[in-house]
Amino acid sequence: MGLKSYILKRTLLMIPTFFALTIITFFISRLAPGGPLKYFILGPESQISMESYLILSHKYGFDKPLWVQYVTWIKNIFLGDFGTSYANYQPVTLLMAKRIIPTLVLTSTSFFLSLIISIPLGIICALKNNSYIDFFARITTLIGMSMPSFWEGLLLIYFFALYLGWFPTLGYQTITSINPTTWESMKDIAWHLFLPALTLATGSLVLVTRLVRSTMLDVLRQDYIMTARAKGLKERIVILKHALRNVLLPVVTIIGLRIGFLLSGAVIVETMFAWPGLGTLMIEAVYSRDYPIIMGITMLVGIMVMIANLFTDIIYAYLDPRIRY
C-alpha cells in the first residue's frame, strides 16, 4: 500500500468519526429536560406564554420526531448552515466565522511556540541526563504540568502587564487610529497575543519536553546509535541525523492529540484574557443556553481536530514507512 492509498483509506475513516461526533453532540444537547428551547425560553423567570412557546417550538422544528430533527440538522451542516442563534437570531455560521480567526491565531502560535522550545529543550535534557539543567527542567515541567492555566495567566498578567507594563492585560487589539495599516494592526495583535499564547503553550510545552527527553534517552541506548558512533561519526550528526528522526515519531503522535488539548485550553485562556475567539463565544452561549451555538462550535472544533489528526497520521506515515506497508 502506497502513501496515496493510505491517505485515501485514512480520509474515508473520517466519515464514521464525523457521524459519531454529530450523534454525540446532538443527543447530549437534547438531554436538557424538556428540550433545548424550553430551557432557553421557559426558564425559571420566564415571562413567555405557553402559546408563544408552541409557536417558537414549531418554528425551530422541535415538534417533529427526534430523528427528523437530527437529519435536518445534519443536512443543513453540509450546506454550511449551523442553525440560528436563539439569543440574537443571527446565523451561527456567521457568528462562528467572526470568532474563528482569533482562535486560530492563538492556538497556532501556542502550537509552534511550544514546539520550538520543547524539542530542543528535551534533547538537551536527554543529552545532559542528570545534570543541573536536566534537574531544573524536570522540576519546571512538573510545576508547569500542575498549574491551572488561568492561574498561570493571572501570574503572568500581574508580572508582565500590571507590574512591568510590557503587555496589555487583556483583549485582542486596541483601536487607536481610524485606519491602521496591516503592519500596525499585526504588530498590535502580536503584542496582545504574547501572554495568552504563552499561557496556552505551557501545557503542551512541558508534556512534549518530557516526551522528547524520555524518548531520546531510549533511542540513545539503541544499537544503531552505537553503530553510528562506532563508525566515528561526529556526535552532532549522530544526534541530528540518526537519533532525531526516531525521536520525532512519538512526538508527532502526541502533537496530533495536543491540538485537541490546545483548542480545549483555548476556552479557559480566551476567557481569562477576554480573547474574542470561539472559546468565549462558547461560554457566552452556555450561559444563555443558546444550543445552536454550543452545538455548532462543538462540531466545528471536532472537525478541526479530525483534520489535524488526519494530517498527523499522514505525516506519521511519511516519517515511518512501516505504517504504510
Partner 1 sequence: MSQTGKDNKNEQDQYGSTSYIIKKIFRNPSSLGGLVIIIGMSIIAIISPYVAPYHPDKNFWDYSYGSPNTAHIMGTDHLGRDVFSRVLIGARASLIIGIGATLLVLLIGVPLGAIVGYYGGLVDNIIMKFTDILLTFPSIFLLIILVSVFSVKGIGAVILSMGVLGWMSMCRVVRGQFLSLKEATYVKAARGLGYSNKRIIFRHILPNTLSPILVMGTLRIGTAIMSAAGLSFLGLMDPSIIMWGTMVNLGLPYMSFAWWISTFPGLFIFITVLGFNLLGDGLRDVFDVKRRGLRE
| Grid cell in block for residue 227 | 553503530
145 binds partner 1 (CB under 8 A): yes
| Stretch in the footprint of partner 1 (CB under 8 A) among 2-10, 54-62, 154-162, 187-195 | 154-162
| Grid cell in block for residue 149 | 492555566
Question: From residue 8 to residue 47, what is the string marking binding to partner 1 with x (rule CB under 8 A)?
Answer: --------xx--xx--xx--xx-xxx-----x--------
242 binds partner 1 (CB under 8 A): no
164 binds partner 1 (CB under 8 A): no
The 10 Å CB-count burial string (b at 16+, else e) for 209-240 is: bbbbbebbeebbeeeebeebeeeeeeeeebbe
198 binds partner 1 (CB under 8 A): no
Between 93 and 271, CB nearer to partner 1:
271
Which residue, among 267, 301, 276, has the nearest Cα to 101 in the 3D structure?
A: 276
Residue 184: CB minimum distance to partner 1, A? 27
- Here the contacts of 87-94 (C-beta below 8 Å, separation 24 or greater) are 87/40, 87/285, 87/288, 87/290, 87/293, 92/292, 92/293, 92/296, 93/296
| Stretch in the footprint of partner 1 (CB under 8 A) among 70-78, 87-95, 236-244, 292-300 | 292-300
* Contact yes or no for 199/272 (Cβ under 8 A): yes
147 binds partner 1 (CB under 8 A): yes
Give whole-number Cα distances, 67 to 60, 61, 70, 321, in Å: 14, 11, 5, 43
φ/ψ of residue 146, rounded to 5? -95, -5
301 binds partner 1 (CB under 8 A): yes
253 binds partner 1 (CB under 8 A): no
| Grid cell in block for residue 252 | 508527532
User: Which of 53, 150, 160, 194 contacts partner 1 by CB under 8 A?
Assistant: 150
Which residues would be at the binding site for partner 1 (CB under 8 A)?
A: 16-17, 20-21, 24-25, 28-29, 31-33, 39, 142-143, 145-151, 154-155, 157-158, 162, 169, 260-261, 263-265, 267-268, 271-272, 282-283, 286-287, 289, 294-295, 297-298, 301-302, 305-306, 309
